[in-house]
Structure 1
Amino acid sequence: MSYSHWALTLGITLNYLWKCCNEVVFDNKHHTSDNISIVISVLTHQSRSSMHDEMSLASGAKRGLRTSLISWKPPKANRWKLNYDGARSC
């Protein structure tokens, strides 16, 4: 698996497991491992499709796009940036 695909899958997996953990603790809702695997697979596929569509849009017509005042900068090379409570501009 390529690095970008692996990183996307890892991020989605950690996020979904965190969500499931919170549902067990706060809602007493339990998930089967099969269900978790399927959801992670579907979310990864949807994210990759969305990124592909965005790249196609970026290389083609950009008509009708809105400018966002929210900004996010990726971390430096070989660094991780994990932000669950929202990005903040200093």
Structure 2
Amino acid sequence: MAEDGDRIAELSFEDALKRLETIVQQLESGDVPLEKSIELYGEGDRLRAQCEARLKAAQARIEQIQIGADGTPAASRPFDAE
């Protein structure tokens, strides 16, 4: 399973999303045996987590909210990773 996780981590966001869509279609078809369905579900969950993490990272890079003295959002500025 570690190899599967490594393989998923190497996928681009777009490739991971395409694979996840394929898995969903397979599971929804109902033509997959139970054991294979369980494997696909696990892979799909890891792909979902990977996509979610990449989206959160991209969002953080795009914008960082600045909080005012009163605790409310005051402005936003581009995220500087350095």
**What band does the TM-score fall into relative to the shorter chain?**
0.3 to 0.5
Question: Max radius of gyration: which structure?
Answer: 2
Q: What TM-score does the superposition give when structure 2 sets the normalisation length? A: 0.40
Q: What TM-score does the superposition give when structure 1 sets the normalisation length? A: 0.37
User: Comparing both chains, which one has the higher relative contact order based on Cα–Cα distances under 8 Å and sequence gaps of 6 or more?
Assistant: 2
More helix by proportion, 1 or 2? 2
